[in-house]
Amino acid sequence: MNDNYIAFEGSTVVAQGTPLEVALKIKKHIIKNDSITILIFNGRTGKQIDLNLSGTLSDLKKRFTPKNEKEENDRHKVGRPKLGVISKEISLLPRHWEWLASQPTSASVTLRRLVEEAQKRNKDVDAIRLSQDATYCFMSTIAGDLIGYEEALRALYAREEKTFNNYLATWPKDIREQIKKFASGVFPHK
């Protein structure tokens, strides 16, 4: 899944979309005015990211095509990347390894089953936490100096939607709207 990216110049959204779409829009924007500062965010995690915008527009198209991204990622993965299996190391105590060895399926299959069960069981709580984390990451970078920032964060984690929205009410429109998108998992509307 390609992440959606959002680019801000000050408090205004200047680009939004796939990495390629955002890179091209920013590059064209920078060509017109190279003294501007643009912040780019991952639309899922809220984290600020850097995009390599060096080269021509053609270079950017080559660099950010999904096929090239996938090939580059697959080349560095251990496991069976074409099947979606990624090999990583985990550390367990001897009693955990003994229990895994006593299971009717392999350790990998048993661990995947346990993780999937935990994901299902914690789905709602995890969704709220991930939404809060993304909102925090975005807010701390772009809104940390705005009036009511700390109070808005407290309301976010307390899940007090009305209070949260009251603090955001005076903030710049694009920032406020993006924060509400990130916080939609905390304050779902029925």
**Residue 121: in which H helix or E strand, if any?**
helix 107-121
Single out the residue in 52, 69, 86 at which a domain terminates. Answer: 69
Residue 109 within a domain: no
Residue 110 within a domain: no
What is the SS3 assignment for 42?
Answer: strand
Does the pLDDT value for residue 72 go beyond 90? no
Q: What is the pLDDT of residues 88-140, one digit of tens each?
A: 888 888 899 899 889 999 888 898 899 999 888 888 889 999 999 999 999 99
Does the pLDDT value for residue 80 go beyond 70? no
Residue 18 within a domain: yes
The reported pLDDT for the residue numbered 67 is 64
The pairing of beta strand 5-9 with beta strand 38-42: antiparallel
Single out the residue in 48, 69, 90 at which a domain terminates. Answer: 69
Residue 14 within a domain: yes
Average pLDDT over residues 158-180: 96
DSSP character for 4?
A: P
Residue 81 within a domain: no
Q: Which domain holds residue 159?
A: 123-185
Single out the residue in 24, 47, 69 at which a domain terminates. Answer: 69
Residue 176 within a domain: yes
pLDDT confidence tier of residue 82, bands split at 50, 70 and 90: low
CB of 9 within 8 A of CB of 3? no
pLDDT confidence tier of residue 79, bands split at 50, 70 and 90: low
Q: What is the pLDDT of residues 24-64, one digit of tens each?
A: 999 888 888 777 889 999 999 999 999 888 888 888 888 88
Question: Which tokens is 32 given?
Answer: 């017109």
Residue 190 within a domain: no
Q: How many domains does the chain have?
A: 2
What is the SS3 assignment for 185?
Answer: helix
Residue 171 within a domain: yes
